[in-house]
A = this chain, B = another copy of it.
């Protein structure tokens, strides 16, 4: 779409991604028929259709719990806003941070979290704090009505199963990198 392409076939898509044309058609058809025989897929329409499947047509109120470097990095990432994720508050316990603003978003004291949740309808909370505090805070969030947690704390959360948790475990990503380096090295050795 950014390249001004108006229509595209599953074959052309297959060339651009590393996915077979068959799989593209199969996968899309799990959600509906977005193409047209003899024509292919209208790029703009497909983009919107996929956005709708992913729920990107809705908007959510988001808070960031933990306003350290990682929390601030997320607060500064403007493109989330464009996808419908409105960050409206941040929380921390560090007195040096409380009261400050990041991209216009106020950092509040963690003690005020429960009160804040009573007065505001928050769907998503980002957990960007040390793992020691993560579980306790997560429970407060759930009590306060938060339905989904984007968890960056280096721990798995034990929460009621109707709470949606998306983990970003950087250590796992780093291990994968490490494994690929090792495998790559081995591949070389074996060729000798």
Contacts and interface: CB of A to CB of B under 8 A. Distances in A.
Copy number in this complex?
A: 2
B77 A148 contact: no
Given A69-B73, A150-B173, A123 B178 contact: no
Interface of A: 53-56, 58, 60, 68-70, 72-74, 76-77, 79-80, 83-85, 123-124, 147-148, 150, 154, 162, 164, 166, 168, 170-171, 173-182, 184
B164 A54 contact: no
Contacts of A171: 79-80, 83
Report which residue of A73, A176, A184 has the largest number of chain B beta carbons within 10 angstroms of its beta carbon.
A73
Consensus secondary structure, chain A interface: helix
Given A68-B73, A73-B68, A73-B73, A168 B173 contact: yes
27 contacts: A53-B179, A53-B182, A54-B178, A54-B182, A55-B181, A56-B175, A56-B178, A58-B182, A60-B181, A68-B73, A69-B69, A69-B72, A69-B76, A70-B70, A74-B170, A83-B175, A85-B174, A123-B181, A124-B181, A148-B180, A150-B174, A150-B177, A164-B181, A164-B184, A166-B174, A166-B176, A168-B170
Nearest to A70: B73
